[in-house]
Structures are given as C-alpha cells and as structure tokens.
Structure 1
Amino acid sequence: MSAAIQHSLAPAGGKTPEIAIFGTGAAGLCTAMQLKKAGIHSFTIYEKSDGVGGTWRDNTYPGAGCDIPSHLYSFSFEHKRDWSRKFALQPEINAYFEECAEKYDLTRHIRFNTEIASAEFDEDTAQWHIKTTEGEERMADIVVSGVGQLNQPFIPEIAGRDGFKGVQFHSARWRHDVNLKGKRVAVIGNGASAIQFVPEIAPEAAELTLFQRTPNWVIPKADRPYTKLELALFKAFPFLTKIHRAMIYLTLERNFLAFKKDSFFSKLFERQARKELESHIQDPELRAKLTPDYPAGCKRILLSNDWYPAMARKNVHVETNAIDHIGENAVVTKDGTVHPADIIIYGTGFKATDFLCPMEIRGLGGRLINDAWKDGAEAHRGVAVAGFPNFFMLYGPNTNLGHNSIIFMIECQVNYVMQCIEEMMAGDIAWLDVKPEAMTRFNTALQDEIKKSVWAGGCTSWYKTESGKVTNNWSSFTAKYWWQMRKADLENFAKVARSKIKAPARQAAE
C-alpha cells in the first residue's frame, strides 16, 4: 500500500504561501519533496544541525539500525532498489535521506545550524513570526513541524551525576573519541538503543554493568544481507521492489493484533520471546531477571539476535536494583552495592511525550501550545491543533507505531497537509484552524480505542504520560489511518478569508 498521492498546486491570483518546515528528518524531507513535486518552491527548512537525516544523523552509536525492513522504511515514491540488507544500519539509512535531499535539490532551501526558539501566530496578518535561538526573526504563512517524537535525549536526574570523574554521555550523542577497550562501562537503560549498542561494545569492555529497570520482550530479527541475485532482480525488474514492499507491509500490519489486550497474537509473541530467552540464557537467576512480568507489547517489542548472547557473557552483569546515586568513579545502588565505572552510557531514550520542546509555540491569543496540552498532548488526526492556525505537525501525538513503518504514517500526514495547502491556495483563505469539537471528537474515539490495547495498562512506558494518558501511539491498524487521511476533512476546519486580514509583511524564501 502506498500513502503517497500526487499533488499539483496552482496558486490563485499569483498567491503562493511562504512555508516554514522545522527539521530535516524523514518528515521534513518528505514535506519538502512533495512541495517540490507539486511545483511549490516557496519554502524554507530550518535545521538545528549541520546535516540532514534527523534521528538517523544523530544516532551514530555502534550497531545503530532500524527494526523495520529497509524496503518499507523508505518513501513509497522514492524506491531504493539496492538496500544492502533486510534491516539497514544507520549509515545506509542516513545516506538514503541525503540522496533524497540531493535529488530534489533541497539543500538550497535548508538553513543549517539554525535552531527554532519560538513561533507565534499573528491573527491580524495571518502569519507566523518565527525566532531562532540566535535572535533572528523570520515569517511564514504556514508552519510544518517535522521534529517528531524522538529528538530530545532524556537523561534521568540521578544524585551525584555531575560529580562523576569519568566520561558520561547519552547514546544519541555518542562519543566516538572515547576508547571503551579495557574499561569498566556502566550502561543505564536497556531499551531499543541499548539492545543494539550493548552487544557491540560488550566484547571491548573489561566489565559492563547494565542497570535495568524492567526487562524487554525480545524476539529474533529476521535480518540478512540481500543476495547478489536478489539485488540483480530488483535492479532489472523495479516492480519486484514494490511487490516486496507490499508483502513486508502486510506482514507487519498483521502484527498489530498482538497489541490487543489478551490477544492470541500477543501470546504467540510471548512464547517466541521466552523460547529465544531460554535457548541463550541457562542461568536461572539471570533468566528471571530478563523475563518480563507485563504483557508483550505494553512496552516496545524489541528485535535482536545478539542481545541474549551478550547478556550471557562473563564480563556482563545485569543489575536490577534501583540506582541510589552516582559517585566519583562508581554507580551505587539502593542496596549499598558499589559498581565501579570508568564510563557511563545513558541508553535512557528521549523526552517522547514533550512534543515540540524546547520550542515555544503560541497560537491565537498568544496561547502556549504546552498550556493547551497540560493534560497530555493531542491533535486532530495527529496533525492539527485547535487554536493554532496554519500549523501542522508530522509524527505528532498518537501517530507512533509499534508494528509498522512510521514512514508510511508520515506520507499519510504529508498528503493531508498538502490538501490543506491546496485548499488555501485555491480560495480566498488566509488561515485554516481545526475546530475544537472536531479535535475532541477524534481524540475521544482514539482514547476509547486505546483502552482496548496493552498500552493502556500493565506497565510504564514512553508511550504515555505520568498520569497514564497514551499520547504517542496510534490506536489501530495503519490502514485505518490511511483511510482517514486519504482525504482532508476540511469541513472540520474554521476558515478565515484573506480579505478580512491586514496585508502581511512579505518575505522571500532564501
């Protein structure tokens, strides 16, 4: 299934909106590529770093890769036929995004090393006033945020952390200049990043202590390099890559059944994971530490072929006692045990529920979006927020997945946003603002559906806030999201005519 829809937009009366895109990850690039395909060039992409790729530029830790097969973790309208393996690693994924940016000549639209501090909507002129962290001010008619959910590394507040005399860093800011060979390494956290880098660094370390809060459900990863014959066939017959992509999509889509409470598929995942654990871990004490006590899918199900072998190494110790504090050269747990450490690596994930932070976004009446989200982030179809006209989010609230490709979801969202832009360009419309009752209706139905899933209870996870509201995950099959997003529900948006606003101060795109 393809989420992409072709758009060809012709401005009404020569009026083309100035569009600001935040971020050059998959979402930002997808938006820019579709704008280019539609013949719109009046956009600027703001990127805080010096390169494209988003999370795939930032996360360069050893073993970094994707848990979605490469032929699906790519744009449906930009097939790459020569992926080297079924699950590509970080360098190849980031190179793909760089190639997309080059092909669509996006670099000239990108302002690198430019971080957004704030954006405020001016209802008199129907423009967004954007400020960078350097104090520069810019303007745009439409803002599309592509910063996603996994861009702000989270490091827990642990007493004594600032007094540690060794080296410490987050996995998303990997210190490649630090030699781990022969060192005592403490890894805090055991999520999706740690499950990839720990097996890579464990053979180097003299000792590696993994501080685990809760164990994960881990199943084998069906990964391997593509054969020369397969690559030759993909090159000679491009339609085969589309068939291959479709088969991957359908296989993964079925896996959503595992996220229903007490489902048969959930039990299948658990049995498969237990079998994998038992085949590698013989020590009963270690096996108990690594066995989850919550339903499969409540936390992210992880894929790995080398996690359990790494846990069974003689130089690896799994510590389940909570951390009390960090000393000058050790991590101390609440039972009083001192764990000497030369290096601390935080595999503690991201501030996933703090959408758009640290940016300050103000809508109608100067209202902060974080005030609108005081009870947990939400948006209409994960894209639009009432009271914030002409502001669209990609990979926004409740659009994350546990079973399929987020690229598919992003394409659905970009298609929706393109239809909103088309509506504005085709008529005398200064701004679109989703109606509060429409957003409430959508999110009430979504949260009711989530209550039937394993995410609603049984464990803590980055999918939900401290109060227990699931703000990150989509509640159903991706096919349902595609069906809802294939046509923008513009009847649920309030529309303000351009004739009712002041003439805006125009600004040419760089």
Structure 2
Amino acid sequence: MSEHRPRIAIIGAGPGGISLALSLKQKGVHDFVVYERESGIGGVWYQNRYPGYRCDIDALYYSHSRYPYNFGESHPPRKVVQEYWDSICFKEDLHSQFHSNTTLKSASWDPSDSTYKLILENRDGTEVKVNHQYLISAIGSFSSPSRANIPGLQDFEGEIIRSWSWPEELGLAELRGKRVAVLGNGCTGTQLITVLSRDPEIEVIAISRSVRWLKPGTTKEGPHTVKWSKVQSFLYSIAPFRWVARLGVFLTMETYWIGFAKKSILTPIVRKAQNRVARWMSTSAPEKLREKIVPDYPVGSNRITFDGGYLNALNQPNVTAVLDAVQQVKGSSLILQSGQEFQADCIVLATGFDTAASLNVQGREGHLMAGKRDHLEYYHGIAIPGFHNVFSLQGNNSTAGHFSSLFQIEVQAEYIASLLAKTGQQDAKVIEVKESSTKEYNEWIDRRLDKTVWSGKESWYRADGGKGRIFTHWPGPATLYWWINRKINWDDWVITGANP
C-alpha cells in the first residue's frame, strides 16, 4: 500500500462496494479504496461455491442499470454472476483500488484530526493501521454465517461442510456412496438438496426444523431459470429493448408488495393465490409431509423461496425428508427432538446468515457498533447518529422483501456518492445525520411496519433472536424508496469544517 491514504474506505467488494465505487467515479470522486476479506471480488457470489447456487432474482434486474450483460438465462448460476461483477471492475479499472485478503478488525473515531483509525488484518495475520476520513460499510446482509449451536456438532465423527465455504475441490463425485445430512431449507438448502438428489449414489437426509412458502418454478425438476433465446440475447443488448424488458420485470416485482400488506382491498386476491400455492405444495410433497409442509402463517411473513425442483427432490428414493430439529450430534449420529436418529458421513450446514452482523466501529462520545446493528436506528438505511462520516449500504430497514436488492443498493450508492462529492467540494471535515431527523424517520417506518404481515411472526427479520423490532426490511414499494432518496435533504445533516 502506498503512503497516500485515500479519504474514503469502502469495506466489502461485493455488488454493494462495486456499485458505490462506480457512483463515486461517475461523480468525479476517485479518492477511495476498497478493502475485501476474500481473495477475489463479488461478495457472496465469490465466497459461496456450493453446488446448485444460482440467482433467485431475474438477471435483468439483478444487474447494474448502466452495465448490461449477456447472462444467457433468467436466473444464472453463481459463476456467471461473479464473472459479471468482475467484468465491470476490469472495464472501469477498479481492481487497482481494491485490496483483497484484508479484514477490518476495528475502526475508531479520532476527533483530533477527524479521521477513523482502522486496524486491518491481512490473510497472514499481520495487522496494518491506516487512517481514513470516511468509512462505508458494504458488507451486505449475508456476509456473516449463522452458527449452528447443536450440542456435539464439533465432535461429529464425519465431515462437516459449511455451505458458505464449500471446498472448491469437493464435487458431487466425492460424495457418492455417502450419507449426506443437509440442515436447512432456505434458499441455500433447497438448491443444495435439489442438486444432490439428482445423483442416485448420494443418500440425502434433508432435515428442516420449520417450513416456508415456496414459489413454483417453470418445471417440476428445476432449476428455476429460463434460457434466453438468441433473439432475446440480441434484443437485450440494444438499450431501448433492454429497458423495456427491465421495466417489465420491475413492474412485476413491484406488484408482489401487495402480498406483504396485513390488510388491503387486494387481500382476498392474495389469499386466493396463497390457497392455490398451499394446494400445490401439499400435493407435490412426499405423502408423509403433506399435512405438515404448508406454513401456518401468511405468505410473505418470511422469505419466500423458489422451489426450483426442491419438492420433487424430496420425493426421490435416495432422499429422506424430515421436519424436525436436531437435538444433538453423537458420534456419527444426528439425534432429533422427536427421538429419531440418523447416521451420516457428512453434515452440510445450510443454516443461513446473521443478518444483524456489522462492522466494529467506535463513533463519537462512546457510540459503539460492536459487530451488531439490530438495535441501531438508521436514517434511510444509510447513516446513524453518533457515527461521524460513516455510511452504509443495506443498512437497517432498507432491504425490500419483494424486490432486487440491487435496486436499493444503486439508490443508496448514488445518495452516498452525492453526499461525498458535495462535501468534498466544500472540503468538509465532518458530516453526520441529525438525531431528530432519524427519530422522525424511524417512527414513520415503524408505523408502516405495523401494517405488514411481518409484524405477526417471529423471524430473522427481527432483533433479539426474532422477537424484537423488525430491523431488516423496507416497508413499502421499491419506487417509494427511490422517491424519498432521489435528492438529499440537507436540513437533515450537520456538516462542519466546510468552506463557505
């Protein structure tokens, strides 16, 4: 690293960090560096390499609005998505501003020179101390895996495989002849189980402690994708046609918002659709699970998962589907709460992520973000009172449950880049959002959250282990989020040290 330290430090080189870098460069701000703990860019698309991993949002809208790409299908696999983000970085020459294999351990505000003192750790364990004026979190919501607190798990006599760090050399061939227990039925678990089930030489034990709503795919066998024709690929390369196609996807996804309202004039229509899905899930599931597979909460209360062949997989002769929780692991056995016991050679943990994980940042006057953010009140999901010069992408209450996260990320990236471009022109030293503005904003958010189906269910959307305030989701259409962030309300900010 050179002696010159850029003003701006971005933590995370996934879609968020890349999108922010693009917005900064577009506004003439080049004085930034991106720190990434992995050895490559792409965030979850670089880190997660389990078999079957693919995008669950239409690629036309899981892509940056200014950078089209021939994905070849509606929901491309991991490698294609990762290559897409890598291609953007090469095109815009961003790699020179990325520092890989670098983890932020802590950041502390120093009022004497209005900078953050960062302690970074390299892959070899050595520490580096650097100063930056601005600190931006772009670590996303799925950067810290949840830990499975199962007694005896660490003493399991077989192999423990973590979906988020799937060994690159571990293919399906290496699992043949083995009993593989997969824990979890979220997006990761359903994709994994579907792929593993296709090899009759792999014995799969699919263990889920709860059920969730599934969205039917284009085929019973999966995966949930549609190949682009040559005509489609050609038309999507032409701006007007691509924008019309993106608009179609946009409007379709926006209509899903009505499913999250606790009560509206369209509620009867939503309930009819829910009943149709419930019948499909019941008739598609293995006979022994048909009375258990349908959730007892309204659709939309928890994350909806693409079926992608999952229910078909549960019906395969080499798959044993179990709705139960693992009570303990003993030797090579998984003992469930019901008393059932299963022998396994491998345990695959597909148990999700800690969505409350954050950076470890010491702000002004004792304000502390100690690796958790679920109790913090954010302004527009972007900034927090008490933390000078700190900004976030996908901060609290800014993730849309019905939409592509890339939309919100682009909106936030543009907002933050506009803030930094303006304050940079004024040579400002410190910028902080007002507590009063943040309080008023969160009161408005809470009123809207009370009107959603999320408010009636415990889930990972909430703080305090699923029982506290809903801190993850944006309670409204994506269009509304864009509208309130389309321009900066400078009255909500305190800027000091700026030139007149």
TM-score where L is the length of structure 1: 0.90
Which residue number corresponds to residue 172 of structure 1?
164
Say if 2:335 is the partner of 1:332.
yes
Q: Which of 309, 312, 335 is equivalent to 2:312? A: 309
| TM-aligned CA distance change 1:465 to 1:252, over 3 Å | farther
Give the aligned partner of residue 222 of structure 2: none
The alignment partner of 1:446 has SS state of helix
Residues 77/268 of structure 1: CA separation in 2 closer, same or farther (3 Å cut): farther
Match of 1:376 in 2: 375
Q: Distance in 1 between matches of 2:380 and 2:77?
A: 31
Corresponding position: 1:83 with 2:71: yes
Q: Does structure 1 residue 256 correspond to structure 2 residue 219? A: no
Q: CA deviation at 1:477?
A: 0.5
Identify the match of residue 59 of structure 1 among 37, 41, 48: 48
Cα 1:362–1:404 shift into 2, 3 Å: same
> Structure 1 pair 371/164, CA: closer, same or farther in 2 (3 Å)?
closer
The match for 1:362 is 362
Question: Judging changes above 3 Å, is the alpha-carbon distance between structure 1 residues 321 and 428 closer, same or farther for their aligned structure 2 residues?
Answer: closer
Shift of 1:289: 2.6
SS in 1 for 2:256: helix
Task: Report which stretch shifted further, 87-96 or 465-474.
Answer: 465-474
Shift of 1:371: 9.4
Report what 1:504 is aligned to: none
Q: In structure 2, how many angstroms separate the alpha carbons of the residues matched to 1:25 and 1:380?
A: 22
CA contact (8 A) 2:286 2:314 kept: no
Aligned match of 1:277: 281
Residue 62 of structure 1: SS of its match in structure 2? coil
Q: CA–CA distance in 1 between the matches of 2:372 and 2:166?
A: 35
* Secondary structure, counterpart of 1:325 in structure 2: strand
2:179 maps to what in 1?
Answer: 184
Q: In structure 2, what is the equivalent of residue 130 of structure 1? A: 118
Which SS does the other structure have where 1:115 is aligned?
strand
The amino acid of 1:353's aligned partner reads: A
Give the equivalent residue in structure 1 for 2:324: 321
Aligned counterpart, 1:395: 394
Which whole-Å CA distance do the structure 2 matches of 1:100 and 1:259 have between them? 34
- Report if aligned partners of 1:17, 1:425 keep a CA contact under 8 Å in 2: no
For residues 63-95 of structure 1, the C-alpha deviation after alignment (integer angstroms, 9 at most, x for no partner) is: 111111001100111122x22101111111100
The residue number in structure 2 matching 1:508 is: none
Cα 1:347–1:282 shift into 2, 3 Å: closer
CA distance change for structure 1 residues 269 and 383 in 2, over 3 Å: closer, same or farther? farther
Q: What TM-score does the superposition give when structure 2 sets the normalisation length? A: 0.91
Alignment deviations for residues 338-359 of structure 1 (CA, whole Å, 9 cap, x no partner): 11000000110001122x1xx3
What does the per-residue CA deviation read over 1:216-247, in whole Å, with 9 as the maximum and x for residues that have no partner? Answer: 11112353100112122333x33101110111
Alignment partners' CA distance in 2, 1:158 and 1:447? 34
Report SS of the residue matched to 1:118: strand
User: What is the one-letter code of the residue matched to 2:108?
Assistant: E
Within a 5 Å distance, the mapping from 1:461-476 to structure 2 comes to 461-466=460-465, 467-476=467-476
Please list every run of 5 or more consecutive structure 2 residues that lacks an aligned counterpart in the other structure.
Answer: 219-224
Unaligned runs of 5+ in 1: 1-15, 501-510
Structure 2 residue aligned with 1:505: none
1:227 maps to amino acid: S
Q: 2 CA distance for matches of 1:289 and 1:209?
A: 17
- For residues 375-405 of structure 1, give each alpha carbon's deviation from its aligned partner in whole angstroms, at most 9, with x where no partner exists: 7233100000001111100011111222111
- Distance apart, 1:268 and its partner CA: 4.2
Deviation of 1:201 after TM superposition, in Å, equals 0.7
Q: 1:286 to 1:118 in 2, by over 3 A?
A: same
1:145 alignment partner in structure 2: 137
- 8 A Cα contact 2:27 2:421, kept in partner: no
Q: Which of 216, 219, 224 is equivalent to 2:215?
A: 219
Kindly tell me: are residues 144 and 65 of structure 1, through their superposed partners in 2, closer, same or farther at Cα, counting changes over 3 Å?
same
SS state of the match for residue 195, structure 1? helix
User: 1:70·1:88 contact (CA, 8 Å) conserved in 2?
Assistant: yes
Match of 2:221 in 1: none
Distance (Å, rounded) in 1 between the aligned partners of 2:306 and 2:312: 14
Aligned twin of 1:156: 148
Change in 2 beyond 3 A, CA 1:410/1:161: same
Identity in percent: 27
C-alpha contact 2:377 2:442 (8 A) present in aligned 1: yes
> What is the CA–CA distance in structure 2 between the aligned matches of 1:52 and 1:17, rounded to whole Å?
20
Query: Closer, same or farther in 2 for the Cα pair 1:388/1:97, shift >3 Å?
Result: same
RMSD: 2.0
Q: Which residue of 2 aligns with 1:121?
A: 109
The count of aligned residue pairs is 478
Provide the secondary structure at the position in 2 that maps to 1:289: coil
How far apart are the structure 2 equivalents of 1:371 and 1:63?
31
Spell out, residue by residue over 1:222-277, the C-alpha distance to the aligned partner (whole angstroms, 9 max, x if none).
Answer: 53100112122333x33101110111001101101101115335424423422432
> RCO greater where, 1 or 2, for CA within 8 Å and sep 6 or more?
1
CA displacement 1:280-334 (0-9 Å, x = unmatched)? 2361x31123111111111111112301100111222222232210011110012
Deviation at 1:124, TM superposition (A): 2.2
2:30 & 2:155 partners in 1: Cα distance?
50
**Distance (whole Å) between structure 1 residues aligned to residue 341 and residue 48 of structure 2:** 30
Whole-Å Cα distance in 2 between the matches of residues 486 and 459 of structure 1? 33
Tell me, what secondary structure is at the counterpart of 1:252? helix
Change in 2 beyond 3 A, CA 1:59/1:272 = farther
Contact 1:17–1:142, Cα closer than 8 Å, also in 2: no
My pick for the range that moved more, 460-469 or 386-395, is 460-469
Aligned residue number for residue 48 of structure 1: 37
8 A contact 1:295–1:458 mirrored in 2: no
- 1:209 and 2:205 correspond: yes
Rate the CA distance shift 1:42–1:311 in 2: closer, same or farther, 3 A: same
| Corresponding residue number in structure 2 for 1:267 | 271
> Which residue in the other structure is 1:503 paired with?
none
CA shift for structure 1 position 499: 7.7
Residue deviations 1:2-21 (CA, integer Å, cap 9, x gap)? xxxxxxxxxxxxxx971111
Classify 1:496/1:309 alpha carbon distance in 2 versus 1 (closer, same or farther; 3 Å).
same
Cα deviations across residues 11-69 of structure 1 (Å, max 9, x unaligned)?
xxxxx971111110011001111222222221111011110000111111111111110
Contact 2:376–2:384 under 8 Å retained in 1? no
**1:209 Cα shift?**
1.5
Q: Whole-Å Cα distance in 2 between the matches of residues 195 and 171 of structure 1?
A: 12
**Could you tell me how far apart the structure 1 residues matched to 2:192 and 2:411 are?**
32
Q: Does the CA-based 8 Å contact 1:260-1:266 persist in structure 2? A: no
- 3-state SS of 1:199 partner: helix
Once the two structures are overlaid, the 10-residue window that deviates more, 249-258 or 306-315, is 306-315
Question: In structure 2, what is the equivalent of residue 292 of structure 1?
Answer: 295
Q: 1:371 to 1:194 in 2, by over 3 A?
A: closer
Pair 328,158 (structure 1): closer, same or farther in 2 beyond 3 Å: same
Please show how residues 67-78 of structure 1 align to structure 2 within 5 Å: 67-78=56-67
Distance (Å, rounded) in 2 between the aligned partners of 1:368 and 1:186: 40
Asked whether 1:103 is paired with 2:95, we answer no
Q: Shift of residue 161 of structure 1?
A: 0.7
Query: Contact conserved, 2:58 with 2:249, CA < 8 A, in 1?
Result: yes
Q: Do the aligned partners of residues 50 and 397 (structure 1) sit closer, same or farther apart at CA in structure 2, a change above 3 Å counting? A: same
